[in-house]
């Protein structure tokens, strides 16, 4: 495997194979599998789980890693083609990425959406450029509209919890003080559809997922036997749901317009997940979130601290599945 | 060993055992003892010795480590229970700590005192919460009123230097431009008392160590055969002293009141340790400090650069004793 | 080898030996040569290549490393002797460097020029102090007027490319929005002279390399059979050149005077390397730069993206030659 950029690049069988490898590495550790291998990690944006779980995962396989955070101890990196670089950035990714790739055996890069132009972000223009500059195996640590490591970890979590392949999976918008990127909702709706689930996107007016994201999820559902729909009605969405996956994101009707976004979300403070949201759900319905989560803003303490919440397990599974990805790339 | 949070959690014999293990690992290195083991290091506050000596120590035992510094490359972490998280912090330690613990075999955490409410800090309310959230072995890398790694390293240093168990140990307040936490003075007075020494706390009016800290040290002294007293009189304190341990801390009479602290310390600039402080001390009296130290503010060049100063040895011993702690936890 | 501070500390034969070792380690990896060894890396200034290539190089030899960046997660470090430390710095390098050295088997330190006093910078007063404080093998990761790792990597690159030992090597000033240090131009002119090349320094009025740097290069040339000259005339410099090595630096006529520097460089924007600069050069003349480089400011896209540019190879060779340095010091 040379690239792990998007779950959609793999067949359902390939994903199941990766998940089986993850389980196998958990049952039968291979502490020397990646001895002498080096993972470079580049973070254009903050991280807690990704930063620590990739380093820990490499170490558990006998390898090592280094971390570069442009602008923090290293130069700011320019990403625009043809830029006249007389500003803050001292180096261009056209040099930075190939140089870092040359030092390691695989590179992981995190580069969030710019959040200004929806088409540019949907087109993954920045990550596409990084892809083209890296001649080593490359892992997407979260790009403009994708987060395949999170999606794979969540798939594993659903399997571990025994959530039926055909179960009802509700991806719900949740409140946040500011707009956040579409990467996790886009990756999540596609993952659940690819798994074969009955996926419902629950979100307020103004926050519908872009058609390109929905269409991709519907194609995955068509192949897997699942379905994808959307609604603004919480009661109908949650009726019989096995999973509520909460996630915050910015307005898509006025993408990149911070003021319009603020006006829209001003009245949406009650989109903070509480136990009562689960009134019509399956008795043992689960609450998922990729973290980080703002307590009592996106999800109330009562829900995060209750028995439905499986967020820590999702986070732990990040390391478990990423070890499979690294093993497939480098072993 | 599942916890290394406070030297007071161990008997004198257990401490001596740890120190013996430290010496044994120095004499007979075990470069594979922790092969495959991972230490997670979380720094809510800056560090030089702790950051580097724990990484180096793990490596010398064959293990590896990762570092997380909330707010620097990763999210700011909320610590208040029931907080409505609409401010700067994107994640709560109720998620962050268990998630990080799940990636590693042991976790080390540094979280300084908040410095506002003395009772809250003395109660170690934050570190107590972290303790409850971590299901892996946990090391205190400096908490509100404790620094057990420093205390253990200093104990070893005293032993190495041949300072008698019953020797006179003066913990002296030293000048600093701003109030600093009580962690090191609290850990130091207790350590020296537990070692069995004649401990004298020398400090100006307004900077007496809190009764709870003094009482804990007196209990340790009662068991070890040592003693603990306090004074504002430098000459009597230093008379016959084998050790002067200098440390800066904030006013305890007006804890958390920065302005009152500034008024109090305005006239205390001469509490900068100089060679003449040792006039009545033992001829070979030693000068200790945990570092970092402000030269010519807390301690004068003449003293730090003179033969009495053993601050580099103390710092080196941080790594030596921490390797014993890690070995006991993980080998 | 206990020190790698300046290529001038080594004979030509010793440098060739190091380069041979680098090639040998590339052809015949020694993944356990430095097992159990620890490299401490201290960065007073930002880094991308040095930070990642040293970590990767140590790992490729079986060792490990830790990184300290004063002021970022650790204390600011004071460097002035006899300072009364009541400002931002909490610790002095007189403590910090020996302590860090005590944790590791070799130390690497980056400390750029202060850029105020030319004589102080030429005298390497800061790095000299660091040298004196470190009782472990020490690597210069770029000091006030030296960058031996870059010089060694560039020598290897010239060899790999088959650039004749007697070839014409032009070190040219290039535009940058602000003055940059003399470390790379000083190291480069010396390296090319020591290799035996016909070295021409091409630079505008006001930016002549200091006599002390030129004299050192001329001495190296005298021994190796090369030559060193300088000019402001691009056409004569580039005539028949095998290599154009572009580099930005500040005015030396008004060293440390930011305003004078700004006035001087205001009219020098056309010192941005373009393909037409090579009109009179050898047909296969190469374009070198140590990176980071500002595209379309110091070097135009057309040149950096063209077949002459070997900047990525230079950067990759940083790791290759540094592994030889580490191996020589620690294996």
ipTM over 0.85: yes
pLDDT 10s digits, B31-72: 999 999 999 999 999 999 999 999 999 999 999 999 999 999
Give pLDDT, residue B139: 98
Range A259-276 average pLDDT: 97
- Residue in B112, B106, B178, B98 with CA at minimum distance from that of residue B141: B112
3-class secondary structure per residue, A78-118: ECCCCCCCCCCCCEEHHHHHHHHHHHCCEEEEECCCCCCCH
B57 CB within 8 Å of a chain A CB: no
Q: Give dist(CA C126, CA C118) in Å, integer.
A: 13
Give pLDDT, residue B320: 98
Q: Where in chain B is the domain with CATH 3.40.50.1370?
A: 3-146+318-330, 162-309
Q: Give dist(CA A103, CA A92) in Å, integer.
A: 17
Cross-chain residue pair C49–A94, CB shorter than 8 Å: no
**How many Cα atoms sit within 13 Å of A128 on the Cβ side?**
9
pLDDT 10s digits, C237-254: 999 999 999 999 999 999
Select from A35, A95, A100 the Cβ nearest to the Cβ of C52: A100
Residues 6 or more apart from A276 whose CB is under 8 A from it?
none
* Cα torsion angle, A116, A120, A123, A128, sign: negative
B48 CB within 8 Å of a chain C CB: yes
Q: Give dist(CA C208, CA C205) in Å, integer.
A: 7
The residue to which tokens 């690819």 are assigned: A194
* A77: closest chain C residue by CA: C292
Give pLDDT, residue B30: 98
pLDDT 10s digits, A127-165: 999 999 999 999 999 999 999 999 999 999 999 999 999
Query: Into which CATH architecture does domain B3-146+318-330 fall?
Result: 3-Layer(aba) Sandwich (3.40)
> What is the average pLDDT score of chain A?
98
A269 CB within 8 Å of a chain B CB: no
* C42: closest chain A residue by CA: A73
Give pLDDT, residue B237: 98
Structural contact between residues C141 and C49, judged by C-beta atoms closer than 8 angstroms: no
Structural contact between residues A48 and B99, judged by C-beta atoms closer than 8 angstroms: yes
Q: Give dist(CA A216, CA B313) in Å, integer.
A: 62
Q: Give dist(CA A254, CA A271) in Å, integer.
A: 19
Question: DSSP code of C5?
Answer: S
Q: Dihedral, CA atoms, A148, A153, A158, A161, nearest 10 degrees?
A: 180
List the Cα angle B188/B193/B197 in 5-degree steps: 110
* B61: closest chain C residue by CA: C36
Give pLDDT, residue A8: 98
If you classify domain C162-309 with CATH, what class do you get? Answer: alpha beta
Give pLDDT, residue C291: 98
Neighbour count for residue A166 (Cβ, 10 Å): 15
The residue to which tokens 């001495």 are assigned: C219
- Residue in B311, B310, B329 with CA at minimum distance from that of residue B57: B329
pLDDT 10s digits, B199-210: 999 999 999 999
pLDDT bin (cut points 50, 70, 90) of residue A187 is: very high
* Cα torsion angle, B254, B257, B258, B264, sign: negative
DSSP output for C52-96 = HHHHHHHHHTT-EEEEE-BTTTB--EE-STT----SS--EEHHHH
Judge if the upstream peptide bond of residue B55 is cis by omega within 30 degrees of 0: no
Q: How big is chain C, counted in residues?
A: 331
A11 CB within 8 Å of a chain C CB: no
Neighbours of chain B (3+ CB pairs under 8 A): A, C
CA B111 to chain A, closest CA, distance in angstroms equals 17
CA C318 to chain A, closest CA, distance in angstroms equals 9
Range A35-48 average pLDDT: 97
Terminal Cα-to-Cα distance of chain A (whole angstroms): 10
pTM value > 0.90 = yes
- Residue in C167, C204, C183 with CA at minimum distance from that of residue C284: C167
Residues 6 or more apart from B80 whose CB is under 8 A from it?
none
Residues 6 or more apart from C13 whose CB is under 8 A from it?
none
Structural contact between residues B226 and B14, judged by C-beta atoms closer than 8 angstroms: no
Give pLDDT, residue A4: 98
Neighbours of chain A (3+ CB pairs under 8 A): B, C
Range B158-180 average pLDDT: 98
| CB burial string B45-79: b at 16+ within 10 A, e below | ebbbbbbbbbbbbbbbbbbbbbbbbbebbbbbbbb
B191 CB within 8 Å of a chain C CB: no
Q: Give dist(CA B102, CA C317) in Å, integer.
A: 38
- Chain B CB contacts of A296 under 8 Å are 82-85
Give pLDDT, residue B12: 97
| A contact test, residue of B44, B58, B73 with most A CBs within 10 A | B73
* A305: closest chain B residue by CA: B94
Cross-chain residue pair C99–B48, CB shorter than 8 Å: yes
A177 CB within 8 Å of a chain B CB: yes
Judge if the upstream peptide bond of residue C305 is cis by omega within 30 degrees of 0: no
Task: For chain C, list residues with pLDDT below 50.
Answer: none
> In a 3-state reduction of DSSP, which class is residue A131?
helix
The tokens describing C219, both together, are 């001495």
* Cα torsion angle, C91, C93, C98, C101, sign: positive
Q: Dihedral, CA atoms, B33, B35, B38, B43, nearest 10 degrees?
A: 60
Neighbour count for residue C88 (Cβ, 10 Å): 9
Q: Give dist(CA B328, CA B47) in Å, integer.
A: 24
Q: What share of chain A in percent tops pLDDT 90?
A: 100
Q: Dihedral, CA atoms, B183, B184, B187, B190, nearest 10 degrees?
A: -120
Residue A327 phi, psi dihedral angles, 5° rounding: -65, -45
Range B287-301 average pLDDT: 98
Range A211-225 average pLDDT: 98
Give pLDDT, residue B295: 98
pLDDT bin (cut points 50, 70, 90) of residue B227 is: very high
* B40: closest chain A residue by CA: A52
C76 CB within 8 Å of a chain B CB: no
Residues 6 or more apart from A114 whose CB is under 8 A from it?
A120, A121, A126, A144
Residues 6 or more apart from B205 whose CB is under 8 A from it?
B232, B253, B264
Give pLDDT, residue B239: 98
Q: CA A250 → CA A82, A141, A247, A264, C178, distances in Å?
A: 30, 20, 10, 10, 39
B64 CB within 8 Å of a chain C CB: yes
Residues 6 or more apart from B215 whose CB is under 8 A from it?
none
Q: Give dist(CA C294, CA C304) in Å, integer.
A: 10
Neighbour count for residue A11 (Cβ, 10 Å): 11
C99 CB within 8 Å of a chain B CB: yes
Structural contact between residues C149 and C317, judged by C-beta atoms closer than 8 angstroms: no
Give pLDDT, residue C262: 97
Structural contact between residues B70 and B79, judged by C-beta atoms closer than 8 angstroms: no
Q: Give dist(CA B38, CA B31) in Å, integer.
A: 14
> In a 3-state reduction of DSSP, which class is residue A142?
coil
Structural contact between residues C293 and C299, judged by C-beta atoms closer than 8 angstroms: yes
Range B285-308 average pLDDT: 98
3-class secondary structure per residue, chain B: CCEECCHHHCCHHHHHHHHHHHHHHHHCCCCCCCCCCEEEEEECCCCCHHHHHHHHHHHHCCCEEEEECECCCECCEECCCCCCCCCCCCEEHHHHHHHHHHHCCEEEEECCCCCCCHHHHHCCHHHHHHHHHCCCCEEECCECCECHHHHHHHHHHHHHCCCCCCCEEEEEECCCCCCCCCHHHHHHHHHHHHHCCEEEEECCCCCCCCHHHHHHHHHHHHHHCCEEEEECCHHHHHCCCCEEEEECCCCCCCCCCHHHHHHHHCCCCCCCECHHHHCCCCCCCEEECCCCCCECCCECHHHHCCCCECHHHHHHHHHHHHHHHHHHHHC
pLDDT bin (cut points 50, 70, 90) of residue A271 is: very high
Q: Dihedral, CA atoms, B239, B241, B245, B250, nearest 10 degrees?
A: -30
pLDDT bin (cut points 50, 70, 90) of residue B267 is: very high
pLDDT 10s digits, A77-99: 999 999 999 999 999 999 999 99
């Amino acid at each position: 495997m040379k690239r792990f950029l998007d779950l959609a690049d793999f067949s359902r069988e390939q994903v199941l194979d990766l998940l089986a490898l993850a389980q196998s590495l958990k049952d039968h550790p291979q502490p020397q599998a990646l001895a002498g291998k080096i993972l470079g990690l580049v973070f254009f944006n903050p991280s807690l789980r990704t930063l620590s779980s990739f380093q820990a995962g490499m170490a558990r396989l006998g390898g090592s890693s280094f971390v570069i955070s442009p602008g923090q101890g290293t130069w700011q990196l320019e990403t625009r083609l043809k830029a006249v670089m007389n500003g803050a950035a001292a180096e261009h990714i056209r040099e930075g990425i190939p140089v870092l790739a040359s030092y390691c055996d695989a590179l992981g890069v995190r580069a969030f959406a710019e959040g200004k132009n929806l088409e540019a972000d949907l087109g993954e223009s920045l990550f596409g450029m990084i892809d083209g500059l890296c001649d080593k195996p490359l892992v997407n640590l979260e790009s403009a509209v994708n987060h395949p490591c999170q999606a794979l970890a969540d798939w594993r979590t659903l399997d571990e919890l025994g959530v039926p392949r055909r179960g009802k999976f509700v991806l719900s918008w949740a409140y946040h003080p500011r707009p956040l990127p579409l990467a996790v909702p886009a990756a999540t709706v596609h993952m659940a559809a690819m798994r074969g689930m009955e996926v419902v996107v629950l979100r307020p007016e103004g926050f519908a997922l872009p058609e390109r994201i929905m269409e991709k999820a519907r194609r995955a559902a068509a192949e897997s036997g699942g379905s994808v729909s959307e609604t603004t009605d919480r009661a109908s969405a949650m009726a019989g749901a096995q999973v509520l996956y909460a996630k915050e994101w910015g307005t898509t009707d006025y993408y990149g317009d911070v003021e319009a976004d603020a006006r829209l979300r001003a009245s949406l403070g009650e989109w903070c997940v509480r136990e009562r949201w689960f009134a019509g759900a399956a008795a043992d319905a689960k609450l998922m979130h990729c973290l980080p989560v703002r307590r009592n803003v996106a999800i109330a303490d009562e829900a995060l601290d209750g028995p439905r919440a499986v967020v820590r397990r999702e986070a732990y599974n990040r390391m478990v599945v990423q070890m499979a990805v690294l093993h497939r790339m480098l072993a």
